[in-house]
Amino acid sequence: MEQEASQLMRGLSSSADSEATIESLKGLMALIERADGATAEELAAALRRHGAVQRLCALVDDAAPSVHRRSMAILGNLVADVFDPRASESVALASGAGVLPRLLARLGDEAFPTKLYAAACLQNMTSIDGGVCDFLNSQGAAKVLEALLRAGDDEVQSQPARAGLALPLTLTLTLTLTLTRCRPSWRSSRRARSPTC
């Protein structure tokens, strides 16, 4: 697992074009999909050691949807305590790498799936770190998420083929409610299990 993670991170760090980046991201996602329990914890630790969290945070800004969505999907797993009991370490790295404003900006993306990946990542982070919640509240994120939820309802109704969006919309609502209930004193002692990207 360590060797695969190292190799994929080398590829991700040295990728000069979107296609190579996408291939590395696909490889990372495949590793994550195969991992659970102790294997997931080991994989997450290896990815943190190889700078994956910081690189994924930077890729949230990538213009290519197939890059920023995959990056948020992988990051969403790394910051979820349901995937890794030590996810708080990934949350701290992601916050330190400046991902919160990037994810908040992605909530305003034109593409609805991008918004949902961003909301799911933020939900996972708020379930672990009250500082994330405090930051999002200070930026007015609850109003942005409520607008996203309304827009999502309209999109699901106008395109029945997208009825599968009901679960992600529930995630968005959960995050919205979490933000509206958060208080500055709320801290990582609250460890709710939450779905991942």
Every domain of the chain and the residues it spans: 2-181
Mean pLDDT of 69-96: 96
- In sign, the C-alpha dihedral spanning 12, 47, 112, 63 is negative
**pTM for the full predicted model:** 0.80
Model confidence at 196, pLDDT cuts 50, 70, 90, reads very low
Give the H or E element holding residue 147: helix 141-158
Is the per-residue pLDDT at 90 higher than 80?
yes
Spatial distance between the Cα atoms of 113 and 168, rounded to a whole number of angstroms: 9
The most confident of the ranges 11-20, 118-127, 171-180 is 118-127
Superfamily of domain 2-181: Leucine-rich Repeat Variant (1.25.10.10)
**Exposed e or buried b per residue across 119-158, where buried means at least 16 C-beta atoms within 10 angstroms of its C-beta:** bbbbbbbbbbbbbbbbbbbeeebbebbbebbeebeeebee
141 or 180: which carries more pLDDT confidence? 141
Is the per-residue pLDDT at 186 higher than 60?
no
Is the per-residue pLDDT at 40 higher than 60?
yes
- The CB density around residue 41, as the number of other CB atoms within 10 Å, is 16
Instruction: State residue 192's pLDDT score.
Output: 38
Instruction: State residue 194's pLDDT score.
Output: 36
